[in-house]
Chain A
């Protein structure tokens, strides 16, 4: 069995992010880049599945510039068997990502694509569902539990009102939500040791024309700090004054 884990290199999710003064992009000066946290959870889940079934092969893939190698190396250290870097300098929208991944899936024929529910930079939450649609595979987004038995995946997924359990016959696409697991910590020596694992670089196969274009980025209007109240009574009075009580 083979599991494909797509990994996006994103700006550190804990960094304070601001647009460039001219709004043309994000100011990345002095900011670190990480594996998209949801992709790291997907990767961790793949490794846990492999710990139960040693015959599983895990392939990680990232689409982007040469710098994505850093995140792929980390995925190898976490437990991926090999990594593929699909190189492009073009910035792809989610339909474009889905098409590159589709081409790779048709070639590698994984049984499961485990990915993040959303990239924490664009917050799109699109690529996985688009990939599943293009492949005609069933999908389970927002997974909080994944079990594989034979050719069936049983996935508990979070919903707007609680959770539900879906049974999917493989191959399928599953996206990780925060509660699926807590990714293991990888220290630097682990990353260095994973140097010997294969990392293949190849050019993008599809290079789809983007369907959306970012015109500009701005800082959202800031809420400003209001007033401190000294007691519950003062708070109640203030809220009555504002007409919300």
Chain B
């Protein structure tokens, strides 16, 4: 029988996932790996594993095999974590997999971007089960009602890998992939201190997150987890402000779902102006601080 197992690595995944479940139109169980999830998201059942942290991929994927049996669909919000774990789970289940679904036509036909977003493929799944990672921006918001029963389950995440250390994002800025406002900077920002002052300053004024291009990350002026694009984070804010960013295909792949894109670039011919809703040809060192003072 067609049923979805929706996996929430973190509680915040659950709300985004419930919208996907609604569009898929299948009854679903919601597995909360860490923390506790909202109970009014329409799940038939909430499976609560209550782990303090998500174990390394081999351990958690093996533990998920047992939970996944009997489901035709297994899905999670697309992230580095879900790609790490769910592709391994698909390998263990010998399942089909769809990465980064952005829309669906039926429970077996999905749309997804390829080649840095230059192409949208319609993919038909030929075998069950299917494992899916999806980008929430393409799917509905969940309706909230009722209250699902919660069942506690034990997940043994014993891994052959040992996690030696974890370094996390500091500060209080919102999560890049969920932020309503994102301010990003590119290569011309001179150094980490300048980047933080100019880009971080505007982001903080707007209560937004900070993003960066690969060029900025590679030259050490921005932290790697701030990279936005084909091989970084996918963002979908109401407002995306790109300062000193040329607009490469790879960067654009990560920002296409933004509602409003603003480009500030001193080169009026920069490709970013071809997709920006509002373009300002200006030196970012003048324009961004002025903007910060006026919002």
Residue ranges of A at the interface with B (Cβ–Cβ < 8 Å): 11, 13, 16-19, 26, 93-95, 98, 117-118, 120-126, 128-134, 137-142, 144, 154, 158-169, 172, 177-179, 209-220, 222-233, 235-236, 238-239, 242, 244-245
Contact yes or no, B119 A26, CB < 8 A: yes
Asked if B119 contacts A220 (CB within 8 A), the reply is yes
The B133-164 residues at the A interface (CB cut-off 8 A) are 159-164
Contact B97 A94 (CB under 8 A): yes
B116 part of interface (Cβ distance < 8 Å): yes
B67 within 8 A of A: no
Measured between beta carbons, the chain B residues less than 8 angstroms from A215 are 109, 121-124
Neighbouring B residues of A238 by C-beta, 8 Å: 278
Is B120 a contact partner of A214 (Cβ separation < 8 A)? Answer: no
Tell me the smallest distance from the CB of A174 to a CB of chain B, in Å. 11
Q: What mask results when residues 114 to 128 of chain B are scored 1 for a CB within 8 Å of chain A, else 0?
A: 111111111111110
- A215-B123, A217-B119 are contacts. A223–B275 as well, Cβ < 8 Å? yes
Q: Is the beta-carbon distance between B80 and A214 smaller than 8 angstroms?
A: no
Given contacts A162-B167, A225-B274, A232-B294, contact A220 B81 (CB under 8 A): no
In the complex, are the beta carbons of A130 and B88 less than 8 A apart? yes
User: Beyond A95-B96, A236-B295, is A160–B115 a contact (Cβ under 8 Å)?
Assistant: no
Number of CB contacts from chain A to chain B under 8 A? 258
Contact A166 B260 (CB under 8 A): no
Known: A129-B88, A225-B274, A225-B279. A242 touches B260 (CB 8 A): yes
Whether B58 and A226, one on each chain, are in contact in the complex, defined by CB atoms closer than 8 angstroms, is no
B120 touches A166 (CB 8 A): no
Taking A95-B90, A165-B163, A236-B295 as known contacts, 13 extra A-B pairs with beta carbons closer than 8 A to each other, sorted by chain A number, are: A123-B115, A138-B58, A159-B81, A167-B164, A211-B95, A215-B109, A217-B122, A222-B275, A232-B291, A235-B278, A236-B291, A244-B239, A245-B206
With a cutoff of 8 Å between Cβ atoms, the chain B residues found around residue A229 in the complex are 278-280
- Are the CB atoms of B115 and A166 closer together than 8 Å? no
**B residues near A166, Cβ cutoff 8 Å:** 56, 161-164
CA distance A168 to B59 in the complex (A): 12
Binding site for A on B (CB under 8 A): 56-58, 61, 79-81, 83-84, 87-92, 94-100, 109, 113-127, 130, 159-169, 177, 181, 206, 214, 217-218, 223-225, 230-231, 233, 238-239, 249-250, 256, 259-262, 273-282, 287, 290-291, 294-295
- Chain A residues in 8 Å Cβ range of B223: 162
Check A125–B260 contact: CB distance below 8 A. no
A160 & B280 in contact (Cβ 8 Å cutoff): no
**A164 close to B94 (CB less than 8 A):** no
Contact yes or no, B167 A227, CB < 8 A? no
Neighbour of A212 across the interface among B98, B206, B239, CB < 8 A = B98
Could you say which residues of chain A place their CB within 8 Å of the CB of B125?
Answer: 211-212
In the complex, the answer to whether A236 meets B294 with C-beta atoms within 8 Å is yes
Cβ A239 vs Cβ B224 within 8 A? no
Query: Which of A132, A164, A227 sits near B277, CB closer than 8 Å?
Result: A227
B224 touches A179 (CB 8 A): yes
